[in-house]
Amino acid sequence: MVMIRVLMDPLVIAAISTAFAIIITIVDSIVNNYGDVEIDINNGKKVLKVKGGSPLLQTLASQGIFVASACGGRGTCGACKVKVLSDVGPYLPTEMPHMSSEDISKNVRLACQVKVKSGIKIELPEELFNIKKYKGVVESLKNVTYDIKELRIKLIEPNEISFKAGQYVQIVIPPYGDIKEHTQRAYSISSVPSDKNHVELLIRLVPNGIVTTYVHNYMKEGDEAELVGPFGEFYMRDTNADMVMVAGGSGMAPIKSIIFDMYERNITNRRVWFFFGARSLRDLYYVELFRDLEKKWPNFHFVPALSDPKPEDNWSGEVGLITNVLDKYLDSMIPKDNVKEGYLCGSPGMISGCIQVFNKYNIKDVYFDKF
C-alpha cells in the first residue's frame, strides 16, 4: 500500500501542476487577447486592422510603417514619439524622462511604450510612409581606424534607397553569442544619395555595445544585412549661408555624405569649412579623400586637428581641442562677410562645446542629430 502511494503521489502532483498550467494558459489567452483592433492614422487617411496586445512601435512596423527608434524599442532613446489622439492611459515612468511639457500637452507618447489594446487614433508625419525595411548583403567591411569600421551594404530587396545626405538608418542585427534577440541601433549614412544601391556606415566600437560588438567581432563580408530607414532631420539646409561643419570619430559619416553630395550636385558656390577632431594620428581617417576634394573645390576647406599628437605622428597641422581650433578659425580665419550655419556630429560633449563656440560668434542656425 505504501509503495503504491509513493508511486502515485508524484503522479498526482504532476497532474495537478499540468492542470494549473493549462488553466493559466487559457486564462492568459482570454485576458490578454485583445482581438483585432483599428489604428486610425491622420484622421482616417490610413486605417490599419491589426492584432492587439503589442507595443504601437512594433505593431506599426508589422504593417510596414517604421517610426524612428535608435534603441530598437527599449524606451531609452526617446526617438519614437507619436501624437496619440485616443486615451491610452497615463504616462509610464519610462516615458517621462523623454517628455517636455509641450509633448505632454499634445499627448505625445513613446510608441515603444504604448500598447495597442483597443482602437487608437494617432498622427504621423507623412514622410514616415516612405520609410522601408531593406535586405542587403555586406559587400565590404574595412577598418578605417583601430576602432572604426566602414561597413558597405549592397541593397537587395528593395535594391534602391532614396535619402537626403545626412540622414540615418537603423541596422538590425541577428542574435549572436549571449544575445538572444534581434537588436537595432541608428547609424548615419556616410555614402552619397546618388549611390542608390548601397548604404555605407561608419561604426565605432563601443565597449560592451551590443550592435557595435557584433559589427566589429562577428559580422563578415557576404553576411545578410537588414536596415530600416531613412530617418532624420540632419541634412544641408537650402540657403546661401557659409557652412561650418564639425565632427569627431564616427561623426564623420553624415558630414562626408553631405559634402560629397554637394560636390556631386555642383553646389560648390557655398563656402564650407569641415573641422575634424581626433586625439592622435591613429584616430584620423579619410584625410587624403578630403585633401583631394579641396584641390577640386576651392570653397571647401578641410581642417583636421589633433588634440594629443604623438611625437612619431610628425604632425604639422592644427593642434588642440576641436572647440579651440573652431574658435580660432571663427575669430580670425573665416571671413565674417556672410551668414553661417553650423552642422555638428559627434559626442554629446563635443556638440555642446561647439554650440558654446557658435553662440560666441552669434551662429544660431546649428543642426545636429539628437540621438
Task: Report d(CA 150, CA 205) in Å as an integer.
Answer: 11
Q: Which of 71, 244, 247, 259 binds another protein (CB under 8 A)?
A: 71
Cβ distance 47 to 37 under 8 Å?
no
Task: Report d(CA 56, CA 80) in Å as an integer.
Answer: 10
What backbone torsions phi and psi does residue 29 show, to the nearest 5 degrees?
-70, -30
Q: Which is nearer to another protein, 50 or 350 (CB)?
A: 350
Mark the segment that binds another protein (CB under 8 A) among 31-39, 207-215, 223-231, 328-336.
207-215
- Within residues 223-252, the interface with another protein by CB under 8 A covers 248-249
Closest contact distance (angstroms) between CB of 120 and another protein is 25
The helix/strand/coil state of 184 is: strand
For residue 76, state whether it binds another protein (rule: CB under 8 A).
yes
Cα 245–Cα 249–Cα 251 angle in degrees, nearest 5: 45
For residue 210, state whether it binds another protein (rule: CB under 8 A).
yes
Q: Which is nearer to another protein, 102 or 178 (CB)?
A: 178
For residue 75, state whether it binds another protein (rule: CB under 8 A).
yes
- Within residues 263-302, the interface with another protein by CB under 8 A covers 277, 279
Q: Which of 207, 298, 311, 335 binds another protein (CB under 8 A)?
A: 207
Q: Which of 53, 174, 209, 317 binds another protein (CB under 8 A)?
A: 209
| Residue with cell string 492542470 | 19
Cell of 104: 505632454
> How many other C-beta atoms are found inside a 10 Å radius of the C-beta of residue 232?
22
Cβ distance 327 to 356 under 8 Å?
no
For residue 144, state whether it binds another protein (rule: CB under 8 A).
no
Task: Report d(CA 332, CA 113) in Å as an integer.
Answer: 50
CA-based torsion, 129, 131, 132, 133: positive or negative:
negative
Mark the segment that binds another protein (CB under 8 A) among 66-74, 131-139, 286-294, 334-342.
66-74
Q: Which is nearer to another protein, 227 or 322 (CB)?
A: 322
- Within residues 173-192, the interface with another protein by CB under 8 A covers 177-181, 185
The count of residues interacting with another protein (CB under 8 A) is 39
Q: How far is CA 109 from CA 58, 59, 256, in A?
A: 14, 15, 34
Give the closest residue to 232 by CA, choosing from 167, 299, 136: 167
Q: Which is nearer to another protein, 79 or 363 (CB)?
A: 79
For residue 347, state whether it binds another protein (rule: CB under 8 A).
yes
**Residues 6 or more apart from 260 whose CB is under 8 A from it?**
165, 192, 293
Closest contact distance (angstroms) between CB of 366 and another protein is 17
| Residue with cell string 509633448 | 103
Closest contact distance (angstroms) between CB of 227 and another protein is 18
Closest contact distance (angstroms) between CB of 59 and another protein is 22
| Residue with cell string 581641442 | 321
Q: Which of 112, 322, 326, 357 binds another protein (CB under 8 A)?
A: 322
Closest contact distance (angstroms) between CB of 295 and another protein is 30
Task: Report d(CA 20, CA 15) in Å as an integer.
Answer: 9
Binding site for another protein (CB under 8 A): 70-71, 74-78, 93-94, 97, 177-181, 185, 204, 206-210, 213, 248-249, 277, 279, 307-308, 321-323, 347-350, 353, 369, 371
